């Protein structure tokens, strides 16, 4: 964290798209579509505010159990999102990265992801991580297996570097929208010292104003990381 107490890394569990749609008697995928509009607004706002990293939980390994048409709808939205936003990410110098096991994606989506990551890899004005088919426990187990193969004892930092998010600082703030008070297998290792905010706002209704209030509250917190007040 920077000395001005600004968060460097914000992570969000974007929950509530389904309920947003249901309340309007619309199919669940309308909620996800509306959720993508919120991603567009919030990501722009976050990077304009000078936050360096935004990590969004878009699809968990458990979400694969949802009805086929909902799953394929989300994959489709993800493809469209990349195609539509890549030019803008390049223009704004945002580094794009997908965090998770993308082996479940079809070749078209894998190519889109690889291409977007390659075209933005040198940028550092902002970093947008989309967690897709991501699970925190799987992340930890993968890292452990990788390190076992290398056959060495590791430090906490070396372990962190073996995770999908290796090289990035841990999130300062984790937000969950949608009025559920759980972590749902998100960045389990990485959020050890994150400030966690739960809001009842459904993701499609989440606005810059509320994010701003969360950031303002975070700036007032005194993070001691297990130490005492100095």
User: Comparing C-alpha atoms, which of 82, 83, 176 is closest to residue 130?
Assistant: 82
Shortest Å, Cβ 167 to ligand FPP: 21
124 neighbors 95 (Cβ within 8 angstroms):
yes
Catalytic residues: 15, 63
Shortest Å, Cβ 39 to ligand FPP: 5
Shortest Å, Cβ 216 to ligand FPP: 25
Q: Does 78 bind ligand FPP (CB under 6 A)?
A: yes
User: Comparing C-alpha atoms, which of 162, 173, 156, 164 is closest to residue 218?
Assistant: 173
Tally of helices (H runs) and strands (E runs) in the chain: 7, 6
User: Comparing C-alpha atoms, which of 201, 208, 184, 203 is closest to residue 32?
Assistant: 203
Q: Which residues contact 202 (CB under 8 A, 6 or more apart)?
A: 15, 16, 17, 19, 20, 177, 178, 179
Q: Does 8 bind ligand FPP (CB under 6 A)?
A: no
Stretch that binds ligand FPP, among 41-49, 70-78, 106-114, 141-149 (CB under 6 A): 70-78
Q: Does 77 bind ligand FPP (CB under 6 A)?
A: yes
Q: Give whichever of 70 and 161 is closer to ligand FPP, judged by the CB atom.
A: 70
> How many residues interact with ligand FPP (rule CB under 6 A)?
19
Q: Give whichever of 36 and 51 is closer to ligand FPP, judged by the CB atom.
A: 36
Helix/strand/coil for 9:
strand
Shortest Å, Cβ 230 to ligand FPP: 40
Q: Does 15 bind ligand FPP (CB under 6 A)?
A: yes
Q: Does 35 bind ligand FPP (CB under 6 A)?
A: yes
Of 12, 36, 105, 162, which one interacts with ligand FPP (CB under 6 A)?
36
Cα 114 from Cα 211, distance rounded (Å): 30
172 neighbors 1 (Cβ within 8 angstroms):
yes
Shortest Å, Cβ 63 to ligand FPP: 5
Structural tokens at position 78: 């993800």
Q: Does 16 bind ligand FPP (CB under 6 A)?
A: yes
Alpha-helical (H) ranges within 122-190 are 136-150, 156-162
Q: Give whichever of 15 and 172 is closer to ligand FPP, judged by the CB atom.
A: 15
Q: What is the binding site for ligand FPP (CB under 6 A)?
A: 14-19, 32, 35-36, 39, 58-59, 63, 74, 77-78, 81, 130, 178
């Amino acid at each position: 964290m920077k000395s001005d107490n600004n968060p460097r890394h914000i992570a969000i569990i974007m929950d509530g798209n389904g309920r947003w749609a249901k309340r309007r008697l619309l199919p669940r995928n309308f909620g996800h579509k509306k959720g993508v509009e919120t991603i567009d607004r919030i990501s722009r706002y976050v990077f304009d505010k000078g936050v360096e990293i935004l990590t969004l939980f878009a699809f968990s390994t458990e979400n694969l159990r949802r009805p086929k048409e909902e799953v394929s709808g989300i994959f489709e939205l993800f493809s469209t999102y990349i195609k539509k936003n890549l030019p803008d990410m390049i223009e704004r110098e945002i580094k794009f990265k997908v965090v998770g096991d993308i082996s479940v994606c079809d070749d078209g989506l894998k190519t889109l992801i690889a291409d977007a990551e390659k075209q933005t890899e040198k940028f550092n004005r902002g970093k947008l991580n989309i967690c897709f088919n991501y699970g925190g426990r799987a992340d930890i187990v993968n890292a452990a297996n990788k390190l076992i193969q290398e056959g060495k004892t590791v430090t906490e930092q070396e372990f962190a570097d073996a995770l999908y998010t290796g090289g990035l600082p841990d999130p300062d703030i984790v937000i969950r929208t949608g009025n559920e008070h759980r972590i749902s297998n998100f960045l389990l290792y990485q959020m050890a010292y994150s400030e966690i905010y739960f809001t009842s706002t459904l993701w499609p209704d989440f606005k810059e104003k509320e994010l701003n209030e969360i950031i303002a509250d975070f700036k007032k917190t005194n993070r001691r990381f297990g130490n005492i007040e100095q």
